[in-house]
Amino acid sequence: MALFNLNDLHLFVQAVDSGSFTAAARHLGVPKSTVSKRVGELEARLGVRLIQRTSRSFALTELGREFFQHAQASIIEAEMAEGIVRRHLAEPAGSVRLTVSVPTAQFMLTEHLPALAVRYPKLRLCVHVTDRFVDIIQEGFDVALRSHRTPLPDSALVQRKITSHPFLIVASPQYVRAHGEPRRPEELAQHATIMTSLAEDQWRLYSGGSEVLVMLHSVMAADEPHVLMEMAMSGLGITCLPTSVCRKALAEGRLVRILPEWTAGSIETTILMPHRRGQLPAVRAVVEFLAERLAG
């Protein structure tokens, strides 16, 4: 009779990957007591302690670390074997948990979700929208979509850059009619600007190989791009927005581009995922779909 089954290994590996029984239970959708009990039974059948755990700590024993490496490999092999079948059926299935910030969800992701549902009807996507810091592994997410102006820190997560959006200088047509249009970056100082903070008083602008720092006169500030765009469309002043945010408003004529040969830097969008999860067919299908739809 076998000492353990694949489900026991899966619970053990998930607990180690998540860093706690609580996080593993959250990811798997089972009670914490189930994870703790099954891992305890696995240790009892093996006759060894794999995890040293107290109310304040959770750490693998030396033997537990070695066992984890083999258990993890077994789970990956099993998942890949299942993946072969799923790829043969050409229809990814199962649940995928995605976390994304509010602006990225609003301006980049949401419009594509119906097409994802049509393409993969057996795939269930759970989208968690928040601007707080999310620990992807600890909270049991399969994929994260991050938009960032500075490079992401190195981590154990797989990173896949999918697109970059320049920041454009924009204003409403009525603002331009009332106040005129600056022809050189330095002329922005004579105009009302809407910033992300009232403490911000300058923009660094780029055009080809040229770079200039311009001083500004801010009249209002908001730290959320949708609010910035609404303020600009109402005629309050000139602001900077990434193309992912203002593309539709520009196409509809609700905003016009100011100093079209200049940008205020760019923002990159990157997919992050735990290495092991990225090998699963359902996760891989979501990642490839996002890379296809959001690129460019």
pTM for the predicted model, two decimal places: 0.66
d(Cα 133, Cα 214) in Å, to the nearest integer? 32
94-159+268-294 with 165-267: one CATH topology?
yes
How many residues are given for the chain?
296
pLDDT of residue 259: 97
Average pLDDT, the chain: 89
- Contact criterion met (CB below 8 Å) for 195 and 221: yes
Task: Give Cα separations from 228 to 70, 174, 255 (angstroms).
Answer: 52, 16, 12
Query: Which amino acid does the sequence have at 49?
Result: R
Is-contact 1 45, C-beta < 8 A? no
Model pLDDT for residues 64-74, shown as the tens digit of each residue: 889 988 888 88
Residue 148 has pLDDT above 50, yes or no: yes
> 9-18: per-residue pLDDT in tens?
888 888 888 8
Percent residues over pLDDT 70 in the chain: 95
Predicted local distance difference test score (pLDDT) of residue 57: 74
Rounded distance between C-alpha atoms, residue 211 and residue 241, angstroms: 18
The structural domains of the chain, with segments of one domain joined by +, span: 6-89, 94-159+268-294, 165-267
Residue-wise pLDDT tens digits, 191-237:
999 999 988 899 999 998 899 999 999 999 998 999 999 999 999 99
| pLDDT value at 83 more than 80 | no
Q: Distance between CA atoms of 42 and 12, rounded to whole angstroms? A: 8
pLDDT at 49 > cutoff 50 = yes
Torsion of CA 40, 83, 146, 290, to 10 degrees: -160
Q: Which contiguous run of DSSP H or E holds residue 53?
A: strand 51-53
Is the domain spanning 6-89 CATH 1.10.10.10? The answer is yes
- Asked whether residue 238 carries a pLDDT value surpassing 50, the answer given is yes
- What string of DSSP letters covers 166-194? EEEEEE-HHHHHHH---SSGGGGGGSEEE
Helix (H) or strand (E) holding 209: none
pLDDT band per the 50, 70, 90 thresholds, residue 277: low
Distance CA 125, CA 143 (A): 10
Q: Of 236, 268, 273, give the one whose Cα is nearest residue 255.
A: 236
The CATH architecture one would assign to domain 94-159+268-294 is 3-Layer(aba) Sandwich (3.40)
Q: CATH number of the domain at 165-267, out of 3.10.129.10, 3.30.565.10, 3.60.10.10, 3.40.190.290?
A: 3.40.190.290
For 75, the token pair is: 């789970």
H or E segment at 152? none
SS3 content of the chain, % helix, strand, coil (to 5): 45, 25, 30
- Phi and psi torsions of 283, nearest 5°: -65, -45
Q: Would the pLDDT of 1 be above 50? A: no
